Structure 1
Amino acid sequence: MTLVKMKEILKHAKANHYGVGAFSVANMEMVMGAIRAAEELRSPLILQIAEVRLKHFPLHLFGPVMVAAAKEATVPVAVHFDHGLTEEKILEALEIGFSSIMYDGSHHPLEKNIAETKKMAAIAREFGATVEAEVGQVGGSEDGSVDLEVLITSTEEAKRFASETGIDALAIAIGNAHGMYKGEPKLRMDRLEEIDREVDIPLVLHGGSGISETDFRTCIHHGIRKINIATSTFNHFVHMVNEEAPFKDYFTYHGSVIEAAAENVKRHMHMFQSVGRVKGDKVYV
């Protein structure tokens, strides 16, 4: 089953009406926990890391860990470079063996976003990788360093962007934001439904930490296939480790980090209805 293209995972999710969690990881233990959860629940999995996080986790060191873990998994795992901003790092991820990249040109005007996305997509195609991009602008930022305002995705722009770039998955802004929400998320389900009618590729929801199970299920019903989870996992890990501290030795701590990651991944897989989609020696049900 091993390392697969994200496009294959999302195609199956689209055909069978469920969502797949894309979990940001920050160390080997989180990778191990996420894969443990996926194998236990027989769910496809997307492991990812964003470019802004590389100051903490150098890609040349951590990327090969993610790829190696995916290759040894007993369920389909895609390894995704999230919110790629530069050609240099996108190319590095592809050379390491990532099976998917996201180019984030959402901060550019539409014309430039289309042009730059097409350029990055052409590079990714040379490696046979899946391509995700974003139109509109998801609020906040991956590392919390910028408080970006949500720019709700236009249905017309989403349709044009998907058509002209030829990407495999489209991230949209419907009131979602990175990090934890300050209040109850107010998602524009009406806009999501419109975009789903006009765009025929899998849609992506960034900023999944803090969204209710009901809203997740509604989003999945209206075309969301990839759901990004980062802050929720990091926060659960910190909470669990703080509760168990002080540790007697490093290896107990090591095990707690794995378990914390696995717990949060499993919780979201149940909400996304991806549990049990992998059976026996078949890649999918």
Structure 2
Amino acid sequence: MPLIPLKPLIDASDKYHYGQGAFNVNAVAQAKAVIEVHEMFRSPAILQGADLANGFMGGCTDFAKATLEDKKRGAKLIGDAVRKYGEHASIPIVLHLDHGRDFDSCKAAIDGGYTSVMIDGSSLDFDRNVELTREVVKYAHARGVSVEGELGVLAGVEDHVFSKESTYTNPLKAVEFFKKTQVDALAISYGTMHGASKGANVRLRKEIPLAIRECMRHEGIEGGLVSHGSSTVPEYIVNEINGLGGQIGNANGIAIEQLLEAIQCGINKINVDSDIRLAVTRNFRELFHREESLKTSPSVGAIYRLLEEKKEAFDPRVFVTPIMDTVMYGNIPDGDVEKIVTAMEKGVKEVVGTLIVQFGSYGKASLVECKSLEEMKELYK
């Protein structure tokens, strides 16, 4: 099945009242794993490449310094990987840009094969955010590509996104934002946080999405509500990492019970990144613990050394730089690298499969009214 835009998945999740997970990928193997586990559960799928993930996939290992050319190259490589494993899948699949920094980043993603983009103007004042988002919507909708905006600021750290404090989304401003920009979905701030250190006992302000949704219905506005910073940070995975020599501290996620309540209050799309990072890192540590010979392997021994040097890190991008050819192109030169790839895929499937079931998207693939980019062009007109 060809990749489709975001809007049909948002429409289905809203109509049938389930949560649609959106999962970040940073390697060909991760994209493959996300698609396979969604197909196993007959669930629609949203794969996300963050703006700096495109830079990393473009070969910039110090991805915080990724150039636009790095992002263009990486966007195409992620797009190629998702099409390779997704075009013959039996489920609808969206490739979505997470946290596009500016118009050029969104354009690079669209040109690279993304079917949906997020433009993050949340750090700007309202009018400038509207102006930037409208510019992206105009370019994207003319090509059948869906757009997600953001209003309100989430605390926490994720790639280049950083804020010490949250600014909750004003429901009335959210409705105005939908009207003025024509976005397909809006990321809101209602208590979630970026990163794995969200603080203990986080409480979501579910009245915010509820109020926005009621106002949208009153005004006849269609659109999805998105929950960023929604990783659950499974305690058992953190404990296993630390039991294998890691030093992950102050790791707290959003309780799954709160996310399920948020879905019933109008949240459609739920972004998850940190959970995948943790599971993959745990699997790497477990693999080297189980197979001592890999620690001195010419092809993957450097990964073990990075794990030992950076015990507090849990982002796999920190550790997989010695095998960038595998990360970017999916090439597997020997059995040792194959073991690393298998560990990565299993970690992705463990987390994503669990959340597909918990969010309720399993068995929902057939409920999505799939539309091609060409069909969406006409619809957007």
Give the shorter-chain TM-score range: over 0.9
The yes-or-no answer on 1:263 pairing with 2:350 is yes
Instruction: Pick one of 170, 182, 198 that aligns with 2:199.
Output: 182
Aligned to 1:7: 7
Task: Decide whether the 8 Å contact of 2:227 with 2:269 is kept in 1.
Answer: yes
Q: Give 1:177-216 correspondences, 5 Å limit.
A: 177-180=193-196, 181-199=198-216, 200=221, 201-209=223-231, 210-216=253-259
Structure 1 counterpart SS, 2:18 = coil
Q: Which has the larger radius of gyration?
A: 2
Instruction: Pick one of 253, 265, 274 that aligns with 2:340.
Output: 253
Q: Runs of 5+ in structure 2 lacking a partner?
A: 59-70, 232-252, 295-334, 370-381
Instruction: Please give the root-mean-square deviation of Cα atoms over the aligned residues, in Å.
Output: 1.9
Q: Give 1:41-52 correspondences, 5 Å limit.
A: 41-52=41-52
Distance 1:141 1:120, change over 3 A: farther
Tell me the number of residue pairs that the alignment of Structure 1 and Structure 2 aligns.
283
Q: Which has the higher mean CA deviation after the structures are superposed, 266-275 or 69-78?
A: 69-78
Distance in 2 separating the partners of 1:278 and 1:154? 33
Structure 1 counterpart SS, 2:364 = coil
Structure 2 counterpart SS, 1:72 = coil
Instruction: Pick one of 256, 274, 281 that aligns with 2:361.
Output: 274
Distance in 1 separating the partners of 2:111 and 2:126? 29
Q: Runs of 5+ in structure 1 lacking a partner?
A: none
Identical pairs, percent: 28
Normalised by the size of structure 1, how large is the TM-score? 0.94
Displacement after TM superposition at 1:144 (Å): 6.7
Instruction: Pick one of 53, 56, 65 that aligns with 2:81.
Output: 65
The yes-or-no answer on 1:160 pairing with 2:176 is yes
Q: Give 1:31-42 correspondences, 5 Å limit.
A: 31-42=31-42
Q: Which has the higher mean CA deviation after the structures are superposed, 66-75 or 124-133?
A: 66-75
| Counterpart amino acid of residue 15 in structure 1 | K
Distance in 1 separating the partners of 2:12 and 2:126? 30
Distance in 2 separating the partners of 1:48 and 1:145? 15
Displacement after TM superposition at 1:145 (Å): 6.5
Q: Give 1:106-185 correspondences, 5 Å limit.
A: 106-143=122-159, 146-180=162-196, 181-185=198-202
Instruction: Pick one of 257, 264, 274 that aligns with 1:221.
Output: 264
Distance in 1 separating the partners of 2:27 and 2:164? 27
Task: Decide whether the 8 Å contact of 1:139 with 1:149 is kept in 2.
Answer: yes
- Deviation string 1:192-248 (CA, Å, 9 cap, x unpaired) is 211121134210000011222211111110111110000110111101221121447
Task: Decide whether the 8 Å contact of 1:70 with 1:78 is kept in 2.
Answer: no
Aligned to 1:85: 101
Task: Decide whether the 8 Å contact of 1:233 with 1:261 is kept in 2.
Answer: yes
Q: Which has the higher mean CA deviation after the structures are superposed, 65-74 or 110-119?
A: 65-74
Aligned to 1:238: 281
Structure 1 counterpart SS, 2:263 = helix
Task: Decide whether the 8 Å contact of 2:153 with 2:163 is kept in 1.
Answer: no
Task: Decide whether the 8 Å contact of 1:52 with 1:142 is kept in 2.
Answer: no
Displacement after TM superposition at 1:185 (Å): 1.7
Task: Decide whether the 8 Å contact of 2:98 with 2:117 is kept in 1.
Answer: yes
Displacement after TM superposition at 1:2 (Å): 3.3
Task: Decide whether the 8 Å contact of 2:103 with 2:135 is kept in 1.
Answer: no
Displacement after TM superposition at 1:5 (Å): 1.1
Distance in 1 separating the partners of 2:149 and 2:160? 20
Task: Decide whether the 8 Å contact of 1:70 with 1:79 is kept in 2.
Answer: no
Displacement after TM superposition at 1:182 (Å): 2.4
Task: Decide whether the 8 Å contact of 1:144 with 1:179 is kept in 2.
Answer: no
| Counterpart amino acid of residue 211 in structure 2 | E
Q: Which has the higher mean CA deviation after the structures are superposed, 185-194 or 226-235?
A: 185-194
Distance in 2 separating the partners of 1:185 and 1:94? 35
Distance in 2 separating the partners of 1:167 and 1:46? 17
